[in-house]
Amino acid sequence: MSDSLILEVANVETDVLTGIYSEETGRPQPLRISIRAWLRPQDHYTPDCPLTASKNYMDLKHAASTGLPTDVHFQLIEAVGDHICDTLFVQDARVSRVEVKIVKLAISEAGEDIGMTLTRERRG
């Protein structure tokens, strides 16, 4: 078994232009986004390791919020997930895998989580 480092940001709430139904289009919808990013860890982390030994967690939060375009309508939340994965792969070559969970808050009727989880491996 090889070592792994998984960075996580959970439950980031943001508004995104998404949806296929007429009542969804033209206005942002609230989404709850959680991200897990796998990195190739270094051999050992000492108490004085610099941030460059890992990845800034705020990069994950940014990919799920301010890193999403405000002028693009994503028909499917799967496309939002793909955009987040692509952003993290471009940001850091050490990211080998990304998992994005997106919950559509506007369609919940009784507090249930309705959405999807997309997992992508770095290609190439």
Would you say 55 and 2 are in contact if contact means Cβ atoms under 8 Å apart?
no
Beta bridge partner(s), residue 16? 29
pLDDT bucket at 109, cuts 50 / 70 / 90: confident
Q: What is the pTM of this model?
A: 0.92
Q: What are the extents of the domains in the chain?
A: 5-45+52-121
Would you say 36 and 53 are in contact if contact means Cβ atoms under 8 Å apart?
no
Scan for tokens 């998404």, then name that residue. Answer: 18
Residues 48-68 pLDDT 10s = 999 999 999 999 999 999 999
Phi, psi of 87 (to 5 degrees): -60, -45
**Nearest 10 degrees: Cα torsion 41, 47, 49, 55:** 50
User: Taking the domain 5-45+52-121, which CATH number applies?
Assistant: 3.30.1130.10
- Average pLDDT on 37-46 reads 92
pLDDT bucket at 23, cuts 50 / 70 / 90: confident
pLDDT of residue 40: 87
- For the four alpha carbons of 100, 58, 7 and 111, in that order, the dihedral sign comes to negative
Other beta carbons within 10 angstroms of residue 21's beta carbon come to 7
Beta bridge partner(s), residue 98? 37, 120
pLDDT bucket at 98, cuts 50 / 70 / 90: very high
pLDDT of residue 26: 80
